[in-house]
Structure 1
């Protein structure tokens, strides 16, 4: 029997996002709320800006010619911007205000120079809008006062140098004039020429001093007083909520991927098909809010198991040895094996249920320490001698008999088929519950599944791991043994229907399929 291998499984990221969309949405909302709370607890700030037009002056230390008195020369505004933040300027602002420090004002002060202008933009940010406006104006006034002081200092220094040079020139002129009255004619002529030159120099010095003393151009003016303080822009207000939402979204994605990698549970029939298993039957899915009674669950499980039975009986050749394996610790695969065995008996077929995980005396009737383990150890022991009868005449049970290291060493697909061959030859349907977890050895499941004509994988949505389903599919592809799936919901197999009759079916007769012995059924004899 071949099983369908459908399209490649979905990308793990998309599957994780789909399965954990609620978690991602919750973290997204929590991140946005957290960002909004942080933004709301952060005090609002207000910024006020004032603009100053800087005039070039003779006091400008960056003039190309110290004696220049032109008013149209360029001024290094970048240097002037640094002077606005100087300790002299900010110290004057702090002295006129209370509660401010030079470091605090400097940290909240910004000075910008618009391109191709002689303008300085001074902005100050504070928690109080009125304080922001007052400090911006105070910084502008302090800077202009500082620049005027620097201009006056440079001007006074130049006037002082001109005064000193004028005094020296007058003394030299006096000496030259006196010398022109004495000496030889040549000496008197030289001193006369020197006196004329000193008179011209004295006139030039007095002209420079007059120009400096008459220079009254302002060093700069405020062209735009401090503006009304503006609060934080809307974009900045929304920044923290948006950033929180993005952070929550990222954390949600990471948690979804982590949960999907650690758990990776199967949640739908489509995922089982995507894994590569043919789903022959499934219990209808019910949501959490849709409560079902134990009777309803039992009826739906019975209907699903009947569909499995019908599918198995329709196969040609019909599987006589069926292994039932679970894919998780909570799939109740043992109950599925019992339910399938009971379904075959209710249909009138003789069934042997093999339970390797059950030891001697585990059930209602003990069997003198005999079971599957003893059959593997002793080849002469007949399997029909260790079967346990049940209240259902058509159903017998073969327990494990205490599987140990020695019996597990002999466990293989070929050996297991040889042990169970007499049961198959007599026309019994053999249902083997494949132990999983702590009840199974390292390679037990491969032996049980390899010996079977058909493997039934019980998948419980919300419990079975996708990784285990993929491993079973890979094993089936490697061994070539057909496997199908029965998909149930969480807890559906906790209350299986007891083995009983289905509408009082007739006893198996000699002509009924699955009820004749190997001596009367040539097809059964040739099946092996």
Structure 2
């Protein structure tokens, strides 16, 4: 996957990322609030050896002290010192609990020993640290005395008494919250990727082609400048498909649950711009077709002609900006879907084919009206219109399978990019013949 694919996932799934970060941050804060406040106080001690007065004796004594210092941390944190401190201070905790509070370290190549003790209060930390250092020094003196009554060979002296801590050392709330944010970002990106990976929504032309197993004839972009190029490319394919035939009938039907008649209108205009004679039929009984967009509901159309063979097909309103003749839906009733699937509609197409080079049929979505399957049998080619970002793969495959089973001429699909809904400009008042409707170029899902 390219970087743009990942940024696209973040744009689509940013709510998942934000929610996960907030949740992890809240959990980190809750965890930090359960950690008790801890203070630490440290006593620094100096270990020395009993030596003579010569320089060599002092040197030897320093080396001996460095050798002993490596074992003294175990003595300071051992059970003996802890038991003595518990008895001395009358503590309610056990020696083992006190051992868990004591740590001892020494800087390399020195005879210094740092004894640190933690407690829930600053006073308690200082008192325990001083008590541990005192008992440690006493135990060292006892261990290093080889002859009763003689001076010990080694001595541990306090050089920096344990101070009163000014601030707690834990919990480190900022660090815990930072880790929570980092964990939330990582988990959020992972969840967003998985959600997008298993989301059945068709978002790219490549996904569309794999789902319907048909060529993607073009993608109608959001921007009008790009859309004009896309329509031009689609127009070239339709022109090539017509070949030497006198006329070509193309049906467009939406593979989503709502109509998108503007693709048919744009394509009809693009072909009319080349000088071709183009007719556009509104066969969309859902009420979302070209008729409503052009405010032509009061004019007779294909519904009346199928019932009464009226009005004459030679008297059609004209979209003057494009030079496209429009046959509106007319006054549809419960019989209209059946009549659209009958041979009468084939007669409409035959009649128009005598006067036009291209006839476009804007049908209702096949998912909501099966009439598109029957209409397709009367057309030379059928094109599926699929809106990217809202169409689910199972629904898309169901629509494609319905065409495959009926054996109709589904030749490919056109992808549209959803945009903000924009209404068509209000048309001029129509006359019954040679009217001049105004159809905007911007499509709206």
TM-score band, normalised by shorter chain: 0.5 to 0.7
The correspondence for 1:325, drawn from 246, 253, 257, is 253
**Rounded Cα–Cα distance in structure 2 between residues aligned with 1:10 and 1:454:** 36
The correspondence for 1:464, drawn from 388, 391, 395, is 391
**Rounded Cα–Cα distance in structure 2 between residues aligned with 1:440 and 1:12:** 36
1:31-46 alignment, distance < 5 Å = 31-32=24-25, 34-36=27-29, 38-40=31-33, 42-46=35-39
1:300-315 alignment, distance < 5 Å = none
Structure 1, unmatched stretches of 5+, are: 1-7, 59-69, 157-212, 285-303, 358-385, 404-416, 509-528
Bigger Cα displacement from structure 2, 31-40 vs 138-147: 31-40
**Rounded Cα–Cα distance in structure 1 between residues aligned with 2:222 and 2:110:** 82
1:165-180 alignment, distance < 5 Å = none
1:433 aligns to 2:425 (yes or no):
no
1:129 aligns to 2:122 (yes or no):
yes
Bigger Cα displacement from structure 2, 232-241 vs 246-255: 232-241
1:482-497 alignment, distance < 5 Å = 484-485=414-415, 489=419
1:279 aligns to 2:212 (yes or no):
no
**Rounded Cα–Cα distance in structure 2 between residues aligned with 1:426 and 1:42:** 86
- Secondary structure of 1:55's match? strand
How has the CA–CA distance of structure 1 residues 127 and 332 changed in structure 2, closer, same or farther, with 3 Å as cutoff? farther
1:48 aligns to 2:41 (yes or no):
yes
1:238 aligns to 2:174 (yes or no):
yes
1:105 aligns to 2:98 (yes or no):
yes
Paired residue total: 359
- Secondary structure of 2:108's match? coil
- Secondary structure of 2:164's match? coil
> Is the contact between residue 36 and residue 240 of structure 1 (CA under 8 Å) also seen in structure 2?
yes
1:209-228 alignment, distance < 5 Å = 213-215=149-151, 219-228=155-164
The correspondence for 2:183, drawn from 247, 264, 270, is 247
Counterpart residue number, 1:15: 8
> Is the contact between residue 130 and residue 162 of structure 2 (CA under 8 Å) also seen in structure 1?
yes
Counterpart residue number, 1:78: 70
Superposed CA deviations along residues 388-407 of structure 1, whole A, max 9, x for unmatched, are 4698765488746899xxxx
> Is the contact between residue 268 and residue 279 of structure 2 (CA under 8 Å) also seen in structure 1?
no
**Rounded Cα–Cα distance in structure 1 between residues aligned with 2:204 and 2:110:** 70
The correspondence for 2:82, drawn from 78, 90, 98, is 90
Which has a greater percent of helix?
A: 1
Counterpart residue number, 1:504: 431
Q: State the Cα distance separating 1:220 from its structure 2 match.
A: 1.9
1:293-372 alignment, distance < 5 Å = 320-329=248-257, 331-333=258-260
User: Rg bigger for which structure?
Assistant: 1
> Is the contact between residue 381 and residue 410 of structure 2 (CA under 8 Å) also seen in structure 1?
no
What is the TM-score normalised by the length of structure 1? Answer: 0.51
Q: State the Cα distance separating 1:247 from its structure 2 match.
A: 1.7
How has the CA–CA distance of structure 1 residues 155 and 451 changed in structure 2, closer, same or farther, with 3 Å as cutoff? farther
- Secondary structure of 1:83's match? helix
What is the TM-score normalised by the length of structure 2? Answer: 0.58
1:114 aligns to 2:107 (yes or no):
yes
Q: State the Cα distance separating 1:147 from its structure 2 match.
A: 2.2
How has the CA–CA distance of structure 1 residues 31 and 214 changed in structure 2, closer, same or farther, with 3 Å as cutoff? closer
Q: State the Cα distance separating 1:230 from its structure 2 match.
A: 5.2
C-alpha RMSD of the superposition: 5.8
- Secondary structure of 2:157's match? strand
> Is the contact between residue 281 and residue 308 of structure 1 (CA under 8 Å) also seen in structure 2?
no
Superposed CA deviations along residues 179-235 of structure 1, whole A, max 9, x for unmatched, are xxxxxxxxxxxxxxxxxxxxxxxxxxxxxxxxxx55366632112211332535699
**Rounded Cα–Cα distance in structure 2 between residues aligned with 1:142 and 1:31:** 45
Counterpart residue number, 1:165: none
Superposed CA deviations along residues 345-387 of structure 1, whole A, max 9, x for unmatched, are xxx9766556799xxxxxxxxxxxxxxxxxxxxxxxxxxxx94
- Secondary structure of 1:99's match? coil
How has the CA–CA distance of structure 1 residues 55 and 93 changed in structure 2, closer, same or farther, with 3 Å as cutoff? same
- Secondary structure of 2:100's match? helix
How has the CA–CA distance of structure 1 residues 37 and 44 changed in structure 2, closer, same or farther, with 3 Å as cutoff? same
Superposed CA deviations along residues 114-161 of structure 1, whole A, max 9, x for unmatched, are 211222211111221111111111111111222223344x423xxxxx
Superposed CA deviations along residues 278-335 of structure 1, whole A, max 9, x for unmatched, are 4288899xxxxxxxxxxxxxxxxxxx9xx989x9799758874222232433x335x7
How has the CA–CA distance of structure 1 residues 84 and 248 changed in structure 2, closer, same or farther, with 3 Å as cutoff? same
How has the CA–CA distance of structure 1 residues 130 and 449 changed in structure 2, closer, same or farther, with 3 Å as cutoff? farther
How has the CA–CA distance of structure 1 residues 324 and 313 changed in structure 2, closer, same or farther, with 3 Å as cutoff? same
